[in-house]
Structure 1
Amino acid sequence: MVDDDSPVGIVDRVVGQRLRQLQRTTGLPVVFGGATTPRRDGPRLRIAHLRGTLGDSLRDLEVGRGRGLGGSALLTAAACRVDDYASTRAITHDFDRHVVHEERMTSVVAVPVTVGGVVGAVLYGAVRAPHRIGDAVVDRVAAFGAALEREIAALLPPPAPPRPSPAARTRTALADLADLARTTPDPALRRRLARILADLGGQDPTEGPRPELAPRELEVLGLVALGRTNAEAADALGLSQETVKAYLRSAMRRLDVRNRTAAVHAARGLGLL
Structure 2
Amino acid sequence: MTTELSSGDSGLGQHAVVAREVLDELLPERMELLRTATGMPLVGAALRAVSIDRLVLERLTGTVGDALRGLVVESGAGLGGRVWQGRMPLRVDDYIGSGAITHEYDAAARAEFLTAAFAVPVLVWGDVLAVLYGAVRDRRPVGDTTLVAATVVASKLGRDAEERLMPYIDDANRPSRALAELTQVIRDVADPSLQARLNRIRRGLMGQAVPVLSGREADMLRLVEAGASTLEIAARLGVHPETAKNYLRSAAQKLEVDTRGAAARQARLNGLL
Query: Normalising by the residue count of structure 1, what TM-score does the alignment of the two structures yield?
Result: 0.55
Name which of 136, 151, 154 aligns with 2:145: 136
Give the alignment partner of residue 162 of structure 1, picking from 172, 176, 194. 172
Report the alpha carbon displacement of residue 3 of structure 1 after superposing the two structures with TM: 7.6
Contact 2:37/2:146 (<8 A) preserved: no
Separation in 2 of the partners of 1:13 and 1:48?
14
Any stretches of 5+ residues in structure 1 without a counterpart?
164-273
Name which of 6, 9, 14 aligns with 2:26: 14
> Could you tell me how far apart the structure 2 residues matched to 1:38 and 1:78 are?
22
SS at match of 2:138: coil
Structure 1 match to 2:2: 2
Say whether the 8 Å CA contact 1:68–1:95 is kept in structure 2: yes
Size of the aligned set, in residue pairs, is: 161
**Greater CA drift, 144-153 or 2-11:** 2-11
Number of the residue aligned with 1:77? 87
1:23 — aligned with what? 35
User: In 2, are the aligned partners of 1:12 and 1:34 still within 8 Å (CA)?
Assistant: no
1:61 is the counterpart of 2:71: yes
Q: Which has the larger radius of gyration?
A: 1
Indicate which of 75, 83, 106 corresponds to 1:96. 106
Partner Cα distance (1:30, 1:118) in 2: 25
| 2:88 partner letter | A
Aligned with 2:55: secondary structure?
strand
State the TM-score, normalizing by the size of structure 2. Answer: 0.55
Structure-2 change in CA distance of 1:35 and 1:17 (3 Å): farther
Q: Determine the structure 1 residue equivalent to 2:55.
A: 45
1:1-273, aligned counterparts within 5 Å?
A: 2=2, 6-39=18-51, 43-99=53-109, 101-158=110-167, 159-162=169-172
Matched residues in 1 for 2:30 and 2:156: separation?
11
Query: C-alpha distance in 1, partners of 2:71/2:117?
Result: 16
Name 2:228's counterpart in structure 1.
Answer: none
Distance 2:35 2:107 in 1: 24
Post-superposition Cα deviations, 1:147-205, rounded to whole Å, max 9, x if no partner, equal: 11112112214422238xxxxxxxxxxxxxxxxxxxxxxxxxxxxxxxxxxxxxxxxxx
Q: Please give the alpha-carbon distance, in whole angstroms, between the structure 2 residues aligned to 1:3 and 1:68.
A: 21
CA distance, structure 1, for counterparts of residue 73 and residue 22 of structure 2: 19
Q: Separation in 2 of the partners of 1:67 and 1:156?
A: 29
- Specify the code of the residue in structure 2 equivalent to 1:129: D
Q: Is the 8 A contact 2:91 2:119 kept in 1?
A: yes
Q: Structure 2: which amino acid aligns with 1:136?
A: T
| Deviations 1:91-146 (CA, angstroms, capped at 9, x unpaired) | 111111111x2111111000000013210000001111122110111000001101
2: distance between equivalents of 1:35 and 1:13?
13
Letter in 2 for 1:20: E
- Point out where structure 2 has 5 or more consecutive residues left out of the alignment: 5-16, 174-273
Q: Residues 11 and 120 of structure 1 are in contact (CA less than 8 Å); yes or no, is this contact kept in structure 2?
A: no
Q: Which has the higher contact order (CA 8 A, sep 6+)?
A: 2
SS of corresponding position for 2:104 = coil
Would you say the 8 A contact 2:78–2:102 is kept in 1?
yes
